[in-house]
Amino acid sequence: MTAPHSDYRLSQLDQLEAESIHIFREVASEFEKPVLLFSGGKDSIVMLRLAEKAFYPAKIPFPLMQVDTGFDFPEVLATRDAWVDRLSIRMIVASVDDAIADGVVVDDGKTSRNRLQIGTLLNGIEEHGFTAAFGGGRRDEEKARAKERVYSHRDEFGQWDPKMQRPELWSLYNGKIREGEHMRIFPLSNWTELDIWHYIHQEQIEIPSIYFSHEREIIERDGMLLSASDAVQPKGNETIEKRTVRFRTVGDMTLTGCVESTAANTAQIIDEIAIARVTERGATRGDDRFSEAAMEDRKKEGYF
């Protein structure tokens, strides 16, 4: 038996963990059909770990759903499968390719896979009748997200209306929804990028290998370092180079850039993040660069 806290104070990580577990249990108690949206990235995996803790020794009482863009990193898919196996949790894959084939979303050759995820995701939620969907969004990621509630209401079109958000007081979450509506749930709202890394380090959580420094063939495009693959080939005078890199976020290969880094373990990553001068999305996400309100606009349409 352990007595970790003789002065009855919780460290901030323990406090964040306790609050997230509270949220997972609250949703599992009050919603008929929750689902955990899983991208395979570090935040998703921390969510899985917290859900595991919330219900232990029982199994996590809801499935995972991954929106497969068709351009996911193989390393990410491998880690996903390892977690699914270990937790014996049910996994649903909502595929963008299938959604295109079924006419749910339209690939006009210009729209990014990231945007096509919106329709694919909403279709997946509707098809399975999910009433609550956990997302790994954190308020520190972006200024529109700083405004988001832990329970974020979505209407029957899956839309977010920032002006109509429900006030959220104490730890009393209001999960009332009407037919066809659903709630997005953000258990990591109050975590920062650094908290996530400290937690991964403390708990020794298995995450995809691409977060750690490795040699990779990359193409430099608009100041971003993209991974060379079938989907990303050199254009114009671009060339393929070998560089020592790692990823700060993982998303679809066509839009997610990596950073040059020699950080090969979680302790080194923490040191690197602590002095980073650019946000994780600013450094590595093409999708947020379209306009100042790019995230807000996507969220209103139903994005995470």
Partner 1 sequence: MDLLRFATAGSVDDGKSTLIGRLLLDSKAIFEDQLEAVEATSQSKGYDYTDLALLTDGLRSEREQGITIDVAYRYFATPNRKFIIADTPGHAQYTRNMVTGASTADLGIVLVDARHGLTEQSRRHAVLLSLLRVPHLVLAVNKMDLVDFDQETYTKIHQEFTAFATKLNIPDLEIIPISALQGDNVVNRSENMPWYQGPSLMHHLEHVHVASDRDLVDVRFPVQFVVRPKSDEHHDYRGYGGMVAGGVLRPGDEVIVLPSGMTSKIAGIDLFDQEVSEAFPPMSVTVRLEDDLDVSRGDMIARVRNAPTPSQDIDAMVCWMTNEPLRPRQKLAIKHTTRTGRALVKDVQYRMDVNTLHRDQETKELGLNEIGRVQFRTTVPLLCDPYSKNRTTGSFILIDEATGVTVGAGMING
List interacting residues with partner 1 (CB under 8 A): 1-5, 7-12, 14-19, 21-22, 25-26, 28-29, 52-59, 139-140, 142-147, 153, 162-163, 165-172, 174, 176-178, 189-190, 192, 194-195, 276-279, 282-283, 292-293, 296
CA dist 61 to 31, 52, 98, 110, 130, Å? 11, 10, 27, 39, 13
- Nearer CB in complex with partner 1: 92/194: 194
276: Cα separation from own chain's centroid: 20
User: In the bound complex, what is the minimum distance in angstroms from residue 155's beta carbon to partner 1?
Assistant: 11
CB of 83 to partner 1, least distance (A): 16
Q: DSSP class of residue 177?
A: -
Nearer to partner 1, 116 or 225 (CB): 225
**DSSP states of 28-55:** HHH-SSEEEE--SSHHHHHHHHHHHHHH
Of 92, 81, 2, nearest to 45 by C-alpha is 81
Least distance (Å) from partner 1 to the CB of residue 172? 5
Task: Give me the least distance between CB of 120 and partner 1, in Å please.
Answer: 25
Nearest 5°: phi and psi at 135? -125, 155
CB of 12 to partner 1, least distance (A): 4
Q: For partner 1, give the closer residue by CB, 241 or 292.
A: 292
Q: What is the rounded distance in angstroms from the CA atom of residue 96 to the CA atom of residue 115? A: 10
CA 193 to chain centre: 12
Q: Which is nearer to partner 1, 60 or 76 (CB)?
A: 60
Q: How far apart are CA 46 and CA 93, in angstroms?
A: 19
**Rounded CA separation 167/126 (Å):** 26
As measured in angstroms, the least distance from the Cβ of 175 to partner 1 is 9
CB atoms within 10 A of CB 239: 10
Residue 260 CB coordination number (10 Å): 11
Cβ closer to partner 1: 102 or 292?
292
CB of 241 to partner 1, least distance (A): 24
Q: Give least dist CB 164 to partner 1, A.
A: 8
Task: State the angle between helix axes of 113-128 and 294-301 in degrees (0 to 180), rounded to the nearest 10.
Answer: 30
Nearest CB to partner 1, comparing residues 171 and 265? 171
The nearer residue to partner 1, 240 or 278, going by C-beta atoms, is 278
Residue with structure tokens 């995996």? Answer: 45
- 53 vs 243, which CB is nearer to partner 1? 53
Cβ closer to partner 1: 85 or 292? 292
Q: How far apart are CA 67 and CA 65, in angstroms?
A: 7
Task: Yes or no: say if 240 and 228 are a contact pair by the CB < 8 Å rule.
Answer: yes
CB of 68 to partner 1, least distance (A): 29
